[in-house]
Amino acid sequence: MQKLVVGNLKMNLLTIAERDCYLEAFQRDFEKLSKNSVEIVLCPPFVHLEKFAEKLKMKNVFVGAQNIFWEDRGSYTGEVSSLMVKNVGSKYVILGHSERRKYFAENGEVVNAKLKAALQDNLIPIVCVGESQIERNDGETAKVIVQQIDQRLKDVPISKISEIVFAYEPIWAVGSDVIPTGDNILEVKITIRKMLVEKYGSSLAEKVKILYGGSVNSKNINQVCLDPQMDGVLVGRESLIPNEFLKIVEILNNHIA
């Protein structure tokens, strides 16, 4: 399976000058890669999607949104739909990120509605799941992950299941510089795969990509993603520095070689 490296730029790049500077640096550093066999997705704020899609035309490089609303159009002041982000060149969308669950009270039902909208409009959803520190301490990780995935997949057509990407992002590891052990990550990945096999059978379940996210950088990428079973990473802060982000890409490229 081709590995996927997603950069979540969050609410950054405040000016047009900053955006252009980022894009120039990314293009320059991308050209220095000896090759690129992973799929790269950059997810800037909505206002920069169109420009990112216009400028990032390199092979295996795509653009994604950080969120969408579940309706396609209408009287929903301040919202942005999946069709809108698709029509300005996005291929992916991050859904149910822990920061959205925390600050915007996005629960399983909301993420489920957004997931169905994204799939209907042929955007590839990157669905985030992950436990809190308390849940991990209480030994509840597997239970929480299974519950979250169950809620998010409610009434999702089976024909669309293999298009979904899951990102395991323990809440306590996002923005914290603390990461789980490689074994912890693998355990969760196996839990997710197993539940998908039980629900949909192995040939569908095996097509679903499962990423790790939370404080990933070029120094810990070996620990979080070099197991052949890991399908890639979701990177937050480090994706703001193209050179650092592309170091992660380079390491995964070399690993595949």
| Chain residues in the site for ligand PGA (CB under 6 A) | 8, 169, 174-175, 213-216, 234-237
Q: Are 168 and 229 in contact (CB under 8 A)?
A: no
Q: For strands 232-235 and 124-129, give the pairing.
A: unpaired
Q: Give me the least distance between CB of 234 and ligand PGA, in Å please.
A: 5
Q: Give me the least distance between CB of 213 and ligand PGA, in Å please.
A: 4
Q: Give me the least distance between CB of 135 and ligand PGA, in Å please.
A: 18
Annotation marks residue 97 as catalytic: yes
How far is residue 162's CA from residue 151's CA, in Å, rounded to a whole number?
Answer: 17
- Pick the closer one to ligand PGA by CB: 205 or 225: 225
Phi, psi of 46 (to 5 degrees): -45, -45
Chain position whose Cβ is nearest to ligand PGA: 236
- Pick the closer one to ligand PGA by CB: 102 or 154: 102
Q: Give me the least distance between CB of 235 and ligand PGA, in Å please.
A: 5
- Pick the closer one to ligand PGA by CB: 44 or 236: 236
Annotation marks residue 255 as catalytic: no
- Pick the closer one to ligand PGA by CB: 35 or 102: 102
> Of these residues, 39, 99, 131, 169, which one is catalytic?
169
Residue 249, exposed/middle/buried by CB under 10 A (0-12, 13-18, 19+)?
Answer: buried
What HEC string does 135-161 produce? HHHCCCHHHHHHHHHHHHCCCCCHHHH
Q: Are 31 and 66 in contact (CB under 8 A)?
A: no
> Of these residues, 39, 48, 97, 250, which one is catalytic?
97
Active site members? 97, 169
